[in-house]
Amino acid sequence: MFPRVALQRVGGRLASTANAARHYATSSASGPVSFGLNDDQRAIDELSRTFAQEKIVPAAAELDRTMEYPWAILKEAHAAGLMNTHVPEEYGGAGLGMVECAIVSENLGFGCTGVQTAIEANGLAEAPLIVGASHELKMKYLGRMGETPLVASYAVTEPGAGSDVAGIKTKAVKEGDKFVINGTKMWHSTNSGHANWFFVLAVTDPSAGVKGLTGFVVDADTPGITPGRKEINMGQRCSDTRMVTFQDVVVPQENVIGAVGEGFKLAMKAFDITRPLVAAGAVGLAQRALEEATKYAQERKTMGKAIIDHQGVAFMLADMAVNAEAARALVWKSAWVKDAGQRNSYYASMAKLYASRAAVENASMGVQVFGGIGFNTEMPMEKLYRDSKIFELYEGTSQIQRLVISRHLPALYPA
């Protein structure tokens, strides 16, 4: 049993650490920078690492084969305090800082990124409420997530609107003191078949572009919501992706998050929280590929010696090690900047871009180290290879991350 209450107490101590970091980051004083974990962070690392090794790793292959939603693991993760980690304690979460959340996400991703995605998608739905909802909405919807093992879904992308958020067609029409939502969501709506509630982005003013988008929190049992069939994806098959149709779904005015027309801004601010954590999951996969390949390379012998002693293999392992370490450093930088109270969009996109590439490259090189047997479903590398690709697609494609990064450059380096 993993003590959820104990983890929440750790979160309380970390809140004061984050406040100190915020003061330091905005001051002009200089001081040492450390990559060492403090006692609380080491405890969180050990907790989440042990959970991944004991609960996730043994179940991962079977979950991939059956594509079964990992409810049993999610319930244990909830009891251990490893869900809702960035939700403030006031609203029933662990109240951890971003660095601590990144440590948890990496370890969960090491175990299985399908499970990690189910947990992180929950966090993605919660993030717009954290950054923009009223106290009452936070208490009602975030509060219940801490009390009971529940999941939520982020319903933003559509069959014809992925990276092009301005292309959203789902509409919310004001009728008295309510809104009526009609439209279809797809792909990004992970957990939608099991969600207790949805964050929904809809058009409230078709003439205003992204300023005409509004965010809503919508109970999943509201009449008119119809989840479609589970989509069978290339990888991360135990996570749940399906089309969701909203037909004349009535939502009360008080379920508007922030103000009417602020939905796009909320969604983008949410990414500042979630992109570092998605990137951390990618680091977990990159690290898993490195460890599996290194162990195999020491056991497998050709031409009279272990293949790790052949330069061609050794150099691939070296590149994999660099990928994992460099990606982790960017993730921690983006998380630290957020904990310091600064806008981290620039670093969050860097972390997401680089960690996604590290995951794909490490999985590919891992298969190469295993050779022909790495292509077989009995070996872990085959699953890691399939699981890795989605990191370059969801929560903003790698091209979108480059766009975000490039648009920050003129301000950083003016002509």
Q: Which residues are known to be catalytic?
A: 395
How many Å apart are CA 163 and CA 23, to the nearest integer?
35
Which among 394, 59, 400 has a CA at the least distance from the CA of 233? Answer: 394
Cα-based angle 149, 182, 226 (whole degrees, multiple of 5): 45
| SS3 of 48-101 | HHHHHHHHHHHHHHHHHHHCCCCHHHHHHHHHHCCCCCCCCHHHCCCCCCHHHH
CA distance 149 to 137: 19
From the number of C-beta atoms within 10 Å of its C-beta (0-12, 13-18, 19+), residue 302 rates as exposed
Alpha helices in 67-168 (DSSP H): 71-80, 98-111, 113-132, 135-137, 143-147
Residues in the chain, total: 415
Give CA–CA dist 389/391, Å, rounded.
5
Residue type, 87: V
| CA torsion angle 92 97 101 104 (round to 10) | -90
Residue 303 contacts residue 272 (beta carbons within 8 Å): no
How far is it, in rounded angstroms, from Cα 225 to Cα 247?
A: 6
Strands 152-155 and 197-203: parallel
End-to-end CA distance of the chain: 58
